[in-house]
């Protein structure tokens, strides 16, 4: 069940909350442009191989989730007790179900907007996407957390390496580096749930195919991703001095990032298949950014600029869910404007922003306005010192 409590501030690294908040704000912004046809290139995902700033926000959040997992399992002494296992399993199921519920809510609202009855709109389970962002977070967290309490920490780097190496071999021999329905990732998802329950992606030629960027097989490297974050959490706890923390975060972050960048010539950096080099590069960058934030915020106490992100960082998942619900409502609630039915989103972008801000800048302004609305929700919780734990 959900619990509501006041966040404990003693001994807490503010920089962790800020990095978490930056990633949540970034995820909300890139998911909600005024128009998907008008997005500045840095705010769009790489079409296939490659890396854009937008491709960093989700893996950064998963990295921080791994760090936080180390903190949360400390009270169980990293042992497979009944209480620890139950907490992990319960949280995994809850996040996964919320992800499914968000997908169902989207189908419901789209059905109602198209004139279907409530019963018809609510019964589109035949096209409900099984996997997604929250589902990936759930599976990666749950698997990594269980591994962390059943396997001694000194063996976790080996487990992580084996996951990444094994996944690379699967990709290598399963057409995993090509965007097609013959890709082993798509083959497994189609066999398990069928194409109607999968995300429809685009090939380089623009053809829509059933390929899920949060596929079940590509959850394997995502588990390794969280485990790397977990190991960095261990590094932070074992080094009490912030200067030492910064030094080690920057060193190991650089090692990981350069490893991923160098290995990309044999294993492309690719978010949609969550390639091993994508894991190495993004966890490396995340560790470097965390080190920089500790240096700025926790050592030099320059934190005023970061207060906006704190409201996102202390309640990340609930604000993300709020953003998902709000985006669905904005896209499907319609009213009459100048004789035509128009959605709230279309009214803000097309009627208010686009006439003077243009295509691209207007689309960006809409995203920033949407982020601000979500911030207001998070700020209310922040001011009341409410921390909603899933």
Are 289 and 335 part of one and the same domain? no
Are 224 and 204 part of one and the same domain? yes
Are 134 and 89 part of one and the same domain? yes
- The pLDDT profile of the chain, 390 residues, written as one tens digit per residue, is 344 443 444 456 889 999 999 999 999 999 999 999 999 999 999 988 999 999 999 999 999 999 999 999 999 999 999 999 999 999 999 999 999 999 999 999 998 888 888 888 888 888 899 999 999 999 999 999 999 999 999 999 999 999 999 999 999 999 999 988 889 999 999 999 988 888 887 665 567 788 889 999 999 999 999 999 999 999 999 998 999 999 999 999 999 999 999 999 999 999 999 999 999 999 999 999 999 999 999 999 998 888 899 999 989 999 999 999 999 999 999 888 877 888 999 999 998 999 989 999 999 999 999 999 999 999 999 888 888 877
- Residue 8: per-residue pLDDT: 40
d(CA 130, CA 97): 10
Spell out the alpha helix ranges (H) of 74-117: 82-113
Asked if 362 and 34 touch (Cβ cutoff 8 Å), the reply is: yes
Give me the domain span that covers residue 383: 1-44+306-390
Contacts of 354 by beta carbon, 8 Å cutoff, 6+ apart: 34, 362
Structure tokens, 337: 């404007």
Q: Which of 251, 269, 301 is the last residue of a domain?
A: 301
Q: What angle do CA 304, 384, 386 make, to 5 degrees?
A: 100
Q: How far is CA 310 from CA 14, 126, 293, in A?
A: 8, 39, 13
Number of domains in the chain: 2
Structure tokens, 356: 């003077």
Contacts of 168 by beta carbon, 8 Å cutoff, 6+ apart: 267, 275, 276
Phi-psi map region of 241: left, alpha, beta (phi>0 left; psi -120 to 50 alpha): beta
Q: Which of 301, 321, 341 is the last residue of a domain?
A: 301
- Residue 16: per-residue pLDDT: 92
Are 251 and 333 part of one and the same domain? no
- Residue 388: per-residue pLDDT: 81
Dihedral of alpha carbons 212, 130, 58, 167, sign: negative
Are 149 and 263 part of one and the same domain? yes
- Residue 210: per-residue pLDDT: 82
End-to-end CA distance of the chain: 7
- Residue 295: per-residue pLDDT: 95
Are 290 and 313 part of one and the same domain? no
Are 257 and 275 part of one and the same domain? yes
Are 35 and 65 part of one and the same domain? no
- Residue 206: per-residue pLDDT: 63
Are 196 and 234 part of one and the same domain? yes
- Residue 204: per-residue pLDDT: 57
- Residue 32: per-residue pLDDT: 94
Are 324 and 221 part of one and the same domain? no
- Residue 47: per-residue pLDDT: 87
Whole-model pTM above 0.85?
A: yes
Q: Which of 273, 301, 329 is the last residue of a domain?
A: 301
Are 188 and 241 part of one and the same domain? yes
Are 297 and 364 part of one and the same domain? no
């Amino acid at each position: 069940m959900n619990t509501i409590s006041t966040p404990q501030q003693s001994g807490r690294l503010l920089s962790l909350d800020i990095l978490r908040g930056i990633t949540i704000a970034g995820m909300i912004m890139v998911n909600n442009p005024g128009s998907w046809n008008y997005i500045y290139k840095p705010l769009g995902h790489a079409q296939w191989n490659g890396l854009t700033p937008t491709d960093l926000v989700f893996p950064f959040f998963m990295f921080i989730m791994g760090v936080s997992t180390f903190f949360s399992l400390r009270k169980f002494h990293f042992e497979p007790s009944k209480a620890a296992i139950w907490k992990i399993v319960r949280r995994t199921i809850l996040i996964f179900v919320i992800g499914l519920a968000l997908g169902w809510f989207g189908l419901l609202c789209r059905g109602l907007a198209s004139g279907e009855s409530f019963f018809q709109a609510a019964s589109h389970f035949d096209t409900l996407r099984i996997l997604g962002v929250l589902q990936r977070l759930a599976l990666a967290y749950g698997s990594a957390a269980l591994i962390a309490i059943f396997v001694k920490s000194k063996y976790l780097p080996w487990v992580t390496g084996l996951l990444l190496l094994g996944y690379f071999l699967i990709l290598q021999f399963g057409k995993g580096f090509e965007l097609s329905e013959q890709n082993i990732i798509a083959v497994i998802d189609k066999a398990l749930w069928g194409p109607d329950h999968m995300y429809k992606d685009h090939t380089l030629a623009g053809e829509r195919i059933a390929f899920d960027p949060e596929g079940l097989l590509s959850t394997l490297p995502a588990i390794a991703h969280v485990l790397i974050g977990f190991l960095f959490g261990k590094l932070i706890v074992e080094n009490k001095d912030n200067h030492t923390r910064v030094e080690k975060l920057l060193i190991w972050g650089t090692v990981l990032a350069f490893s991923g960048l160098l290995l990309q010539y044999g294993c492309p950096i690719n978010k949609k298949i969550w390639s091993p080099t994508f894991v190495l590069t993004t966890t490396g960058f995340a560790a470097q950014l965390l080190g920089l934030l500790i240096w700025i915020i926790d050592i030099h106490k320059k934190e005023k600029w970061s207060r906006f992100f704190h409201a996102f960082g202390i309640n990340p998942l609930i604000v993300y869910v709020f953003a998902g619900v709000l985006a669905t409502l904005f896209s499907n609630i319609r009213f009459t404007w100048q004789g035509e039915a128009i959605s709230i989103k279309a009214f803000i972008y097309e009627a208010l922003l686009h006439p003077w801000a243009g295509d691209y800048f207007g689309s960006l302004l809409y995203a920033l306005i949407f982020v601000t609305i979500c911030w207001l929700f998070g700020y209310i919780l922040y001011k009341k010192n409410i921390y909603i734990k899933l």
